[in-house]
Amino acid sequence: MALFYVLGLGVDPAQHATVETLQAAGACDAVYCAGLDRRQREFLARFLAPGAALIEARGAEGEAARNIGAKLSQGKTVGLATPAHPFYWNGLAGRIVGECVKGGVPWQTFGAVSAMGLAISKVGLTLGTDIFGLQSFDAAALAARPVVLNPEWPVVIYFYAPLAPKDYDRTLKALGAFFPAAHEAYWCSTADILKTSVGALISGAKRDFRKLVPSTVLFLPAKAAGASPLESSGSAESKVPVPRAPEWIRG
Amino acid sequence: MDKGLTVENQIKLLGLDDVEANFGCLLELPSCGGLENALAKIGRRRGAGKAESLALRGKILTLLYRYPQARETLESVVDLDPRLARARAWLGELNLLEGRFEEARAELGRALALENLPWARFHLAAAFAGLGKKSETRQELERARKLAGAGHPAAAAAEALGGLLEAQERRWDSAAKALGRCVAALPKSGWPYALRARIRKAQGDMGECLKDYRSALERRPEIWLYLERSRIHEEMGDIDRALEDVDGALRLDPRRADLYRRRSHLQVCRRHYHLAAPDCSKALELEPRNAAIALERAMVNSIRNRPDLALEDAALAERLSAGEAGILIEVIRLRISSGKLEGQLRAIERLRAKSADYAGAADFLLGCYRLKSRDFRKAAKAFALVKGGAAEGDLSRKAGFYGVVASALLDQPGGGSCAPGPIPLGRSRLNIIGLGVHPPYSASLETLRAIASCDLIFNNLSEPEIAGLLGLLAPECEPTMYDVRGADSRWTAAIFDKLKPGMTVGFVTRGHPLVCGGLAHSLMEEAERKGGVEYRIYGSISSMNSLAARALPPESGGHWGEQVMFYSSFLSPGFRAEARVPSVLYFLSSVQTIDRAGYDAFYSGLERLYSKEHPCYFYGRTFNMAPELLALRELKELHGKLDCSYTLLLPAKEGAGSR
């Protein structure tokens, strides 16, 4: 019987893929993947069942959706794996799930480590103690549309959608319109965290663009005090919680 | 009892004419004490009346479940007086109880040829039912009803059997009606209610099912009734009620080991392992030679991370089991988990040599051994054999899980290993690790590697699978931390007490340690205050990630962002949020005491972002349960009904557009 798995491998698949996601991949007759480089595809292939196909979902979304739909109509178990989570990677998973719902094909997904989760691990801020809200946006969205930002919450920016250099510039401009140049910013990768500022990001855009990978995450602390009006510690001044653990934050 | 009474009067006095058929699981009995007394009083007559008295003894022995003695007695009566219809009828009934339906049919046929007994007619119908002969069954039931007449227990039993036949055909309504007639015919009996309860359960009408069990218990409290209802409560997730029923059964007989085992099982379901262990001990006290109970206690102690006690119990189970493979498999697994590897390879090979049936189990244990020995490549190979072999069900599932774990711990593509690098001289390392909302299955590869790099693990996770995983990955585990809430300083002190220079200590928790995590926060603060401690947080799937994955996307397009909010955010002046991305909304403990005005301000904040009909997915205390779907406007009336265990998922506003 056909079954569709929506498989999120987390921000950095080799680190963040979960056991249940990989087990589900291992139960598939075919796994389509998008956004994985060669090493990541080799890594995922280790967990597939013998004889199961790992297929890159190339081309337009419509074509990829048709190919996956054709496999499902053969009664196969099919997975779609992307970094992060397919519902956030692009529109393909949503399109296929919509078809599954119409056609009565069961589908299943699991949580995946997100840019938000990675960011707060890296900077060491506790949600519900240090901060009472968090907002996370794809860089391309910030470049393309006026996004409502809450000044009391930190901002996390991720880079799932393909970005041209001018889009990256627009993203930084959007941040610059909201945060002053001296405002702290943190460049997070799985292995490292680098402290910088909004101004430095803007001035170093051309250089930094070349370093961008899908697992790059930017973290900007809140602009305004973010203590909960109900849970404040009672101090007269509410300070903006800043990332801790200065020993491992470079820069 | 007057030995001169006729058999019929004796039957009446003993209440035996009130005894209904047993379909292998049900019997209305006078108390066992009464039957034992009756058995003692029935004299072994000589001459006239001897056969009748012996037959009565046979019947009572049947009622006391002493089937071999009952058979011997009744067969001797049939030899003594082949024309005593009642003896043949009771022998036929005994055959029925033992599932010997063809023999039952034959014997009951002979009894009915001698005398038209209503109960024998009914039992013949039951024998036909056992043989799968539906039309003969219905025919005999009709005859039994007519013969017995309204109000006779045999007629009621016939209604009941008819109802069960309807249930077999999934005609639930007519089954329930037939049992209803049986209930009406025997208002003082409990078993018709019990039978109807089973029909109701099959129909999915749990409310009526539980009502019927209550009625059955009010009429005659029986251990088997309490146990059946306990299982239903357990299936419905109401472990407290399930426990109450076991306590009810224990009040009837406090010397039954199976009841303590059941209670121990329910305490494990509640994750109250410290309460499960004493019940196992009590069961073992009552059945000291029962290897399965010793093993159950070993597993409870293992889950509690008390390897010392677990190993003692495992050794006891092994001694008592006389080499039974099922016990041996778990004993070997416990020993490996506890780090007692010596001799286990030989034990695994001895298990494999017993039979080809145990090959899968032997490979699984070999995988565990390799995992514990840090030979991840061989571990992955061994687990893969289990998956590919004939092993089914639980073993295959576990092998699949551990196979992924072993593969994850192999060298990463492009180099690197699971070890994060040496600790600088004079310092120690603290790994704060989240295993996701569905531990251990939602553990990320990074967190598994972090666990494997620790010298000692603390954890506050109550899932039994966690003990198994931590036992195999970490050299040493502290007993599971219970009652962590509100005890951050105590546990922080306990963890730092173990953090010696050169050591890596891990604290393993659920979800993401920094999402609504108190102890992780305390640990970081202490590490910064003390100095000399490197710490690292390994985030994993938090509730926000788990729920965001369920944030049903628009049909075309994916999400371009997400938000995590606390309800208190809405009380800030000038609060702003982006409604075109999914949002996860947490409630703090203050929501329980916020006044109406404050709650209304929160609701108004939501209304500024979303329409009144905007769907809201309401999650309870665990994020893997199906949510309740509400419209936004329904939140308005939830003032005073929420607490911090609830989470709301607000999908992106419609018309959010595609990427």
* Residues B472, B477, B483, B489, Cα dihedral to 10°: -140
CB within 8 Å: B512 and A46:
no
Contacts of A231 in chain B (CB under 8 A): 568, 588, 590
Which amino acid type is present at position A142? L
Contacts of B515 in chain A (CB under 8 A): 117, 120, 126-128
Alpha carbons B74 and B489: distance in angstroms, whole number = 72
CB within 8 Å: B515 and A127:
yes
What pLDDT does B21 receive?
Answer: 33
What does residue B292 show for φ and ψ, rounded to 5 degrees?
-65, -35
Question: Quick one: three-class SS letters along A93-118?
Answer: HHHHHHHHHHHCCCEEECCCCCHHHH
Phi-psi region of B622 (alpha: psi -120 to 50; beta: other; left: phi over 0): beta
How close is the nearest chain B Cα to the Cα of A186, in Å?
16
> Which of A126, A175, A192 is the best substitution to test chain B (most B C-beta atoms within 10 A)?
A126
Pairing of strands B456-459, A217-220: unpaired
Alpha carbons A203 and A181: distance in angstroms, whole number = 10
**What's the order of all strands across the beta sheet hosting A53-56?**
A53-56, A30-33, A77-82, A3-8, A107-109
Can you give the C-alpha Rg of chain B in angstroms?
32
Q: What is the pLDDT of residues B278-287, one digit of tens each?
A: 999 999 999 9
Number of residues that this document lists for chain A:
251
Dihedral of CA B170/B173/B175/B179: which sign?
positive
Q: Walk along chain A (251 residues) in steps of 10 and give the mean pLDDT of each run.
A: 93 91 95 94 92 90 90 95 91 90 91 87 86 92 90 91 91 93 88 88 92 90 66 47 59 52
Contacts of B561 in chain A (CB under 8 A): 135-138, 141, 147
Contacts of B448 in chain A (CB under 8 A): 19
Residues of chain B with pLDDT under 50: 1-32, 413-418, 656-659
CB within 8 Å: A126 and B521:
yes
**What's the order of all strands across the beta sheet hosting A155-158?**
A193-197, A184-188, A217-220, A155-158, A133-138, B561-566, B583-586, B647-650, B615-619, B628-631
Is residue A69 helix, strand or coil? helix
What pLDDT does A245 receive?
Answer: 56
B622 lies within 8 A of chain A by CB = no
Contacts of A228 in chain B (CB under 8 A): 566, 568-569, 588
CB within 8 Å: A134 and B542:
no
How close is the nearest chain A Cα to the Cα of B61, in Å?
53
What pLDDT does A232 receive?
Answer: 44
Residue with tokens 């926060």: B521
How close is the nearest chain A Cα to the Cα of B522, in Å?
10
Alpha carbons A66 and B60: distance in angstroms, whole number = 72
> Which of B396, B417, B444, B593 is the best substitution to test chain A (most A C-beta atoms within 10 A)?
B444
- Determine contact, residues B325/B317, Cβ cutoff 8 Å: no
Alpha carbons A153 and B570: distance in angstroms, whole number = 12
Number of residues that this document lists for chain B:
659
Contacts of B551 in chain A (CB under 8 A): 87
* Residues B398, B400, B404, B407, Cα dihedral to 10°: 110
Residue with tokens 């109406």: B596
Q: What is the pLDDT of residues B138-162, one digit of tens each?
A: 999 999 999 988 878 888 888 888 8
Nearest to B562 among A23, A116, A127 (CB): A116
* Residues A234, A237, A243, A248, Cα dihedral to 10°: -100
| Closest residue of chain A to B521, computed from CA coordinates | A126
How close is the nearest chain A Cα to the Cα of B200, in Å?
30
Residue with tokens 């007629």: B155
What pLDDT does B315 receive?
Answer: 94
Nearest to B566 among A121, A126, A228 (CB): A228
Alpha carbons B303 and B293: distance in angstroms, whole number = 15
Q: What is the pLDDT of residues B199-239, one digit of tens each?
A: 898 888 899 999 999 999 998 888 889 999 999 999 888 99
What pLDDT does B304 receive?
Answer: 80
Dihedral of CA B432/B433/B436/B439: which sign?
negative
CB within 8 Å: A87 and B520:
no
CB within 8 Å: B441 and A19:
yes
What pLDDT does B43 receive?
Answer: 56
Is residue B569 helix, strand or coil? helix
Q: What is the pLDDT of residues B406-430, one digit of tens each?
A: 988 886 543 344 456 778 888 899 9
- Determine contact, residues A75/A47, Cβ cutoff 8 Å: no
Question: Quick one: three-class SS letters along B66-118?
Answer: CHHHHHHHHHHHHHHCCCCHHHHHHHHHHHHHCCCHHHHHHHHHHHHHHCCCH
CB within 8 Å: A149 and B438:
no
> Which of A9, A89, A113 is the best substitution to test chain B (most B C-beta atoms within 10 A)?
A113
Nearest to B514 among A42, A94, A121 (CB): A121
Structure ipTM: 0.88
Q: Which residues pair with B648 in a beta bridge?
A: B585, B618
Is residue B436 helix, strand or coil? strand
CB within 8 Å: B557 and A91:
yes
Contacts of A11 in chain B (CB under 8 A): none
Nearest to A137 among B414, B514, B560 (CB): B560
Contacts of B42 (CB under 8 A, 6+ apart): B1, B3, B10, B53, B56, B57, B60
How close is the nearest chain B Cα to the Cα of A95, in Å?
5
Q: How many H-runs (helices) and E-runs (strands) does chain B carry?
A: 29, 9
Is residue B629 helix, strand or coil? strand
| Per-state percent for chain B, helix, strand, coil, to nearest 5 | 60, 10, 35
Question: Quick one: three-class SS letters along A122-172?
Answer: HHCCCECCCECEEEEEEHHHHHHCCCCCCCCCCEEEECCCCCCHHHHHHHH
Contacts of B517 in chain A (CB under 8 A): 126, 128-129
What pLDDT does A235 receive?
Answer: 41
CB within 8 Å: B413 and A120:
no
